[in-house]
Structure 1
Amino acid sequence: MAVLSKIRERSMFLIIIIGLALFAFVLDPSTLGDFFNSSKINEVGEVNGESISRQEFVNELESYKQQTGGRVSEMQAAKTVWDNLIRKKIYANQLEEAGITIGEADVWNEVTSAQFVQNNPQYQNELGMFDENKFKQFLANEKENQTQLWSQWSNYMGQIKDNAERNTYNNLVTAGLGASLKEGETQYFIDNTKINAQFVYVPYTTIADSLVKISKSEVEAYISQRKDQFQVEETRDISYVKFDINPTADDEKIIKDDVAALIPELKSAENPAVFIAENGSDTNVNSNFQYKNFINQEVADKIYDANKGDVVGPYKDKEFFKISKVTEVAQMPDSVRASHILIPHVGAQRVAPEVTRTEEDAKKLADSLLTVIKRNRNKFSDLAKEFSSDRGSAEKGGDLDWFNYNRMTPEFRDFSFTNKKGAMDVVKTPFGYHIIRVDDQKNTQKVVKLATFSRKIVPSEDTENTVFRNAEQFALEVSKGDDFFAVATENKLSPRPAVGLKVLDENVPGLGNERQIVSWAFSKESSIGDFKRFDLEGSHVVAYITAKTEKGLMPVAKAINRVRPILMNEKKAEMLKDKLEGSTIEDIAKTNNTSIRTASNVTLKSPTISGVGVEPKIVGAMYNAELNKVYTALEGNKGVFSFKVTNRVLPTALPNYDSNRKRISEARKRLTYKMFEALKEATDIEDNRSIMYSSN
């Protein structure tokens, strides 16, 4: 009765629990455990048991995307933020274990010592000296108002702390990376000891691959014994057929005819630029003069033979059909040499902070300099050195050397190219006022201005519908149970593979950034043999899942291409070993119907045997071998060896090995960039980001 009483007391609680559990089971039985483990909902991973919460990750992600101005994709941002969080936590753990703390004072000292803070007038006193209290007050105001500027400063100080932690740890480790004199001496002898030997070598290629059988169980055994070398991430393999939506010949003809119909109106238009804009040209009017070699070469002759007011076209230029009206004809050089004196003013582009003159003052100064130069042209060089803010040319008396039509800002360019040699005047540009002198010109030729109407060549609606129906029909045939590849072959289509897609990938080879396809391939509902049609920009794709690889030990089917050559050589070595047994090198050579070879001046530093290639295992054996002793049947990279070391030449002993010691020490310190990867490998990291980004 007591038990029944307790059940009655808690009946509502039990009903709720059972109801929720059944609801979860109906949705997806595999999520039942996850339902009760609510921590999975709010975590994206762990580092040595320390949780990375979803909120922490999202906050860092949003901050990073703001910093980059949306110039990176979601998955690129997610990867960078994850890597930064992992790095930060790993270094923080290491410093904590070492008892080293990066405090607020350390961060503050780093921030206030930055030159851009020290030199900012906003944080300086009346004497122009950095005032720490002013800087503190500025930050306090920004923090109180929670401005975007405060967010940026907060992020910056966080980065300072992260960098300080990383640098402190790296510096501590680097300080302990030294080398002893004995190490220097040992390395000197290892690098410079020269070995001479006689050897017999039988390549693995002397045995045909067809004579060696490799079974699936042998491959499986090999990878089982080396599990750490064959760990893989969860991946998917897909194949897909792409149906591109390209304009047909009929589509092109319709667009060409539509463009041609506008020729009479463009020819009679008093203002061609307005006409082109009103009729919705797909490119803007280029108001610059154009040289013949920069115009579509198929119509360049026609355009340059035309007179002002003539219309040329329609002609195809890449992905457009165009008609062009000649609006102006002139004779111009293709390059000019000029000199200038630049007088900037407040508000001009790239103006130096110390410039205080107004635009009016700059104009007056430029006019007065021009007056002086016109009286005595020889003064141009000296005045350029004294007054021009363009120090690069000022040092050369204002000389800008030769430049082409497209190099200079339009106002500067137009004066230089439309005036004759020797012309000089004041010209205003976004950079200030220039006194320009045209020093020389070359290759004068005919140039034109064109008013060009363009229509992009795009597929028609009928074409789009036809391609869609083709993709849909293909998917329908596959849905009837027909083999994906057989259907493709029957329809003369070529499936493309995308092998080894990872759960957080966004690029599909041959398609680019198509995260939706990757997400579908990894969804819980998708399995091998499933397919789906995707409507992409400019195409339709039917994708088909060909393989699924779970995280853990690489499947035999995936490993066989990597393992087979290794096992092949091992078996060939066993077949060859008996042939390379013998008491003398001569006997072994005779048995194998080959000649004795010589290895001369071989070193461990460069373990290459002439006529064979790189053989570090064999050279290492030679280095430690007894003189004139025959060593038989040693497996190398490319074959089986028997050898006898005939001579070992030691290098001349040095009075001191300090330089060698320093080289070892410096080489070790240069490898500190590998420290983080070593720390990461030794850290227990759980990555659950796929929960956030999969379509489960």
Structure 2
Amino acid sequence: MSIINSIRNKSGLLLIVIGVAMLAFILGDLFSRNFLSQGNERIVGEIAGDEIPFEEFSREFDEFRQNYEMNIGRALTEQELPGIRQQAWNQLVFKKAYFKEFEKLGLEVTDEEMIDMIQGNNIDASWASLFTNPETGEIDRNNIRSFLQNIESVPPQSQAFYINFERNLRPNRLRAKYENMLAETYYATDAEAKKEYEAQNSKADVRYAYVPYSTIADSAVSVSESEMRDYYNNHKKEFDSEATISLEYVTFPITPSDIDIEEIKEELEDLKTPFANTQNDTAFTAANSETNNNFIVAKPNNLPQGLNIGDFEKGKVFGPVKDGDFYKLYKVLDITDDSVAYAKARHILIKATDENRADAKAKATKILNDIKGGADFAQMAAANGEDGTKSRGGDLGWFDENTMVEPFSKAVMNAKSTGLLPNLVETEFGYHIIGVTHTKVYDNYTLAVIEKEIAASDDTRSEVYRRTGAFAVDRTKENFISASEADSSLIRYQALNINKNSRSINNIYDPGVRTIITWAFREAEVGDVSETLELEDQFVIALLTEKTEDGVSSFESVKNSIEQKLAKEKKKEQILAKMKGLSGTLDQIKDGYGSGATIGQATAISLNTTSLPSVGFAPKAIGEIFKLETGQTSEPIADENGVLVVEIDQMDKASEIAEYSLYKNQIESKYGNINQVSAKIAQAMNEFAEVENEIYKYY
């Protein structure tokens, strides 16, 4: 049956998954009897009053991961794992918090509903997709019933797939019921609909006098320590933040030594003769290359770096050639004819317009004659060229016959030999002095490639590791500082306010660096020094300099932001006091205020507008505007970035309409959108169930 094939295609990983699950169960049992019995149970969080042991989360994650991999038909990448861990945690929250709410409300999914979703009139969409005719879009219910009737005879993978689907169907349906029920509670009144209509359709043209807070220097206002502490004590909710750490760290780069590089080159040199003589290039490159990029087809204009077609012949080996982080050998396997011609040239362009064409031609002619007389082409290009090629002596490299403008291409492709063309070539860009460096060819090249990464040897890595020994003998803050100062080649870097989900430290993006971050959050105290962490290209040792917990930030950590906030308030008071003493037109108010005041204007703004030109975010001013009528001027308005006095040039209030249902639907669609509702429920459930997620301490 086609359904069996569909399920089999999605279940290729299932046997591995089952084996991994059994192993996880056995190891989990051993772990619980040996580790947890010692009272060392690791807790990764709390949901609705229940502590979540690491092992419980790990089982949930393994199941979630296995199901996900089964559905996508491949193993997850390292980059995908953090997202899947979060989804597994969300699933635990769902099981432990949501179901309590379902029970309170009496929500359930009956057996009749289950049958309906599997083979009835309202089949689950993901299940139905396996039985849908791709040509007609119709669900084949007979195929569903046939599969169910023969479930015991289908392959084990298909049976497991169905069991997993059926197990998740009921809870997923419960959640959908709950979220849809709450989505239906979103209701917009006629008054709200009218207000939304007016916000969208009332328009105003305004002018305003504006004084930014930035016109007053920070040095002109002073904020005392006591003022800052009073603000902090009265507004602690503003400073609620997630846990962070700060580090100092040193790195020991692992770079290939000159000896390493010579050994890599010698290894490739030793391969040149057997590479040239082998009759099985596929097997030879597979056995000797460190990558899978063993064969390429090249044209003259995209040859690998360091190769010159003038030396090409079948069977010849070139290299070692350095290309980025690799040394490479190339073997010419075949040279075939192409339908397109390629040539190589350099030029000196003297740009010409209708106004200066005669002068440009005269200048180009002189340069051409100078080169004929023995002047160096590259030097003349650098001194006189008028395009981007002048910095490389006019070199254009290889190009095909269709790349350049026709007169230029024709001149180069018709050249019978290399060297300076005797005459100027005129194009739409100006006059060109051209030197042909390789006449046209019609070649394709098939090359075999052996690549060796330019990497540090084990001896080099060991030598670099020995340098870290001064830090390992005494993992204290004092020794960390003294050891780093004793080695003049080391730089002590800072990484500040690293959040708990960060997967990098400054510009160190190696996945392994997460080890230091989890160590710092899970067990380290300020002043602790990490063990030496070995990454792909460096060793890292870190000192934990600061650690904050979830909750209210310390006064010292937010002191600067409080000072800026209070300074802004004092600037606001100064500007308001001066603006309130002024009267007359906007221009008179601007002139009366003096330096820093400007005049701005905006047209067709609505209540849904959020910013004004030259002012930026200005919600208070926009709200005040729609309280006024044409010709009226506001009192000074203290907004986010400065103080404004607004004058209404034209106010067009939206006229009443008979029916506001369109706007009511807009409001309900905006706030009752099922995706938004789901997200808001999840947020509320996390707060209500007092969810504490600490998996960041372990992964």
TM-score bin (small chain): 0.5 to 0.7
The answer to whether the aligner puts 1:242 opposite 2:251 as a matched pair is yes
Match of residue 212 from structure 1:
221
Decide which of 252, 255, 273 is 2:261's aligned counterpart: 252
Q: Note closer, same or farther for the CA distance 1:331–1:646 as it changes in structure 2 (3 Å cut).
A: closer
Match of residue 462 from structure 2:
465
Q: Note closer, same or farther for the CA distance 1:621–1:333 as it changes in structure 2 (3 Å cut).
A: same
Helix, strand or coil for the counterpart of 1:481?
helix
> 1-side partners of 2:559 and 2:567: how far apart?
11
Decide which of 505, 510, 513 is 2:511's aligned counterpart: 513
Match of residue 478 from structure 2:
481
> 2-side partners of 1:577 and 1:649: how far apart?
29
Decide which of 131, 139, 142 is 1:130's aligned counterpart: 142
Once the two structures are superposed, what CA deviation does each residue of 1:401-430 show, in whole Å capped at 9, x if it has no partner? Answer: xxxxxxxxxxxxxxxxxxxxxxxxxxxxxx
Decide which of 314, 329, 338 is 2:335's aligned counterpart: 329
> 1-side partners of 2:129 and 2:598: how far apart?
72
Return the offset for 1:630.
6.8
Q: Amino acid of the residue matched to residue 663 of structure 2?
A: N
Q: Determine if contact 1:255/1:455 at 8 Å carries over to the other structure.
A: yes
> 2-side partners of 1:673 and 1:477: how far apart?
53
Return the offset for 1:547.
0.8
Return the offset for 1:507.
4.3
Match of residue 565 from structure 1:
564
Once the two structures are superposed, what CA deviation does each residue of 1:321-347 show, in whole Å capped at 9, x if it has no partner? Answer: 233333433335579xxxxxxxxxxxx
- 1:157-168 → structure 2 map (5 Å cutoff): 157-168=166-177
Decide which of 305, 308, 312 is 1:306's aligned counterpart: 312
Helix, strand or coil for the counterpart of 2:320?
strand
Helix, strand or coil for the counterpart of 1:661?
helix
- 1:87-486 → structure 2 map (5 Å cutoff): 87=94, 89-112=96-119, 113=123, 114-115=127-128, 118=131, 130=142, 135-136=147-148, 138-139=150-151, 149-195=158-204, 200-269=209-278, 280-283=288-291, 286=294, 290-302=298-310, 305-333=311-339, 445-473=442-470, 481=478, 484=481
Helix, strand or coil for the counterpart of 2:107?
coil
Q: Determine if contact 1:111/1:117 at 8 Å carries over to the other structure.
A: no
Helix, strand or coil for the counterpart of 2:142?
coil
Q: Amino acid of the residue matched to residue 466 of structure 2?
A: R
* Gapped regions of structure 2 (runs ≥ 5): 1-35, 70-74, 134-139, 342-439
Q: Determine if contact 2:583/2:589 at 8 Å carries over to the other structure.
A: yes
> 2-side partners of 1:501 and 1:596: how far apart?
41
Q: Amino acid of the residue matched to residue 67 of structure 1?
A: N
Q: Amino acid of the residue matched to residue 262 of structure 2?
A: K
Q: Amino acid of the residue matched to residue 282 of structure 1?
A: E
Q: Determine if contact 2:247/2:544 at 8 Å carries over to the other structure.
A: yes
Once the two structures are superposed, what CA deviation does each residue of 1:325-377 show, in whole Å capped at 9, x if it has no partner? Answer: 33433335579xxxxxxxxxxxxxxxxxxxxxxxxxxxxxxxxxxxxxxxxxx
Return the offset for 1:226.
3.4
> 2-side partners of 1:692 and 1:49: how far apart?
20
Q: Amino acid of the residue matched to residue 458 of structure 1?
A: A
Helix, strand or coil for the counterpart of 2:321?
strand
Q: Note closer, same or farther for the CA distance 1:105–1:252 as it changes in structure 2 (3 Å cut).
A: same
Return the offset for 1:64.
1.6
Match of residue 609 from structure 2:
606
Q: TM-score, normalised by structure 1?
A: 0.66
More deviation in 471-480 or 148-157?
Answer: 471-480
Q: Determine if contact 2:510/2:535 at 8 Å carries over to the other structure.
A: no
Q: Determine if contact 1:581/1:588 at 8 Å carries over to the other structure.
A: no
Q: Amino acid of the residue matched to residue 327 of structure 2?
A: F
Return the offset for 1:252.
1.4
> 2-side partners of 1:631 and 1:244: how far apart?
63
Helix, strand or coil for the counterpart of 1:202?
strand
Match of residue 21 from structure 1:
none
Match of residue 400 from structure 2:
none
Q: Amino acid of the residue matched to residue 538 of structure 2?
A: S
Once the two structures are superposed, what CA deviation does each residue of 1:639-687 show, in whole Å capped at 9, x if it has no partner? Answer: 1234566874423333433333333333333375244335523533445
Q: Determine if contact 1:44/1:54 at 8 Å carries over to the other structure.
A: yes
Q: Note closer, same or farther for the CA distance 1:175–1:79 as it changes in structure 2 (3 Å cut).
A: closer
Match of residue 71 from structure 1:
76
Q: Determine if contact 1:263/1:323 at 8 Å carries over to the other structure.
A: yes
Helix, strand or coil for the counterpart of 1:161?
helix
* Number of residue pairs matched by the alignment: 540
Helix, strand or coil for the counterpart of 1:323?
strand
Return the offset for 1:511.
3.4
Match of residue 539 from structure 1:
538
Q: Determine if contact 2:249/2:492 at 8 Å carries over to the other structure.
A: yes
Once the two structures are superposed, what CA deviation does each residue of 1:488-515 show, in whole Å capped at 9, x if it has no partner? Answer: 6962433444333445655444133223
Match of residue 29 from structure 1:
none
Q: Determine if contact 2:243/2:499 at 8 Å carries over to the other structure.
A: yes
Match of residue 635 from structure 1:
638
The answer to whether the aligner puts 1:83 opposite 2:83 as a matched pair is no
Match of residue 684 from structure 1:
688
Q: Note closer, same or farther for the CA distance 1:188–1:173 as it changes in structure 2 (3 Å cut).
A: same
Q: Determine if contact 2:180/2:674 at 8 Å carries over to the other structure.
A: no
Decide which of 485, 488, 491 is 2:488's aligned counterpart: 491
> 2-side partners of 1:646 and 1:450: how far apart?
74
Return the offset for 1:549.
0.5
> 1-side partners of 2:312 and 2:476: how far apart?
60
> 1-side partners of 2:280 and 2:272: how far apart?
14
The answer to whether the aligner puts 1:582 opposite 2:558 as a matched pair is no
Once the two structures are aligned, what percentage of the paired residues are identical? 24
Q: Note closer, same or farther for the CA distance 1:268–1:60 as it changes in structure 2 (3 Å cut).
A: closer
Return the offset for 1:220.
4.3
Q: Amino acid of the residue matched to residue 622 of structure 1?
A: I
* Gapped regions of structure 1 (runs ≥ 5): 1-34, 121-127, 336-442
Once the two structures are superposed, what CA deviation does each residue of 1:196-229 show, in whole Å capped at 9, x if it has no partner? Answer: 6675433212210112233455444434433333
Q: Note closer, same or farther for the CA distance 1:334–1:675 as it changes in structure 2 (3 Å cut).
A: same
Q: Amino acid of the residue matched to residue 61 of structure 1?
A: F
More deviation in 131-140 or 215-224?
Answer: 131-140
The answer to whether the aligner puts 1:592 opposite 2:593 as a matched pair is yes
Return the offset for 1:637.
1.3
Return the offset for 1:599.
5.4
Once the two structures are superposed, what CA deviation does each residue of 1:139-164 show, in whole Å capped at 9, x if it has no partner? Answer: 5688xx9x565543333234333432
Helix, strand or coil for the counterpart of 1:516?
helix
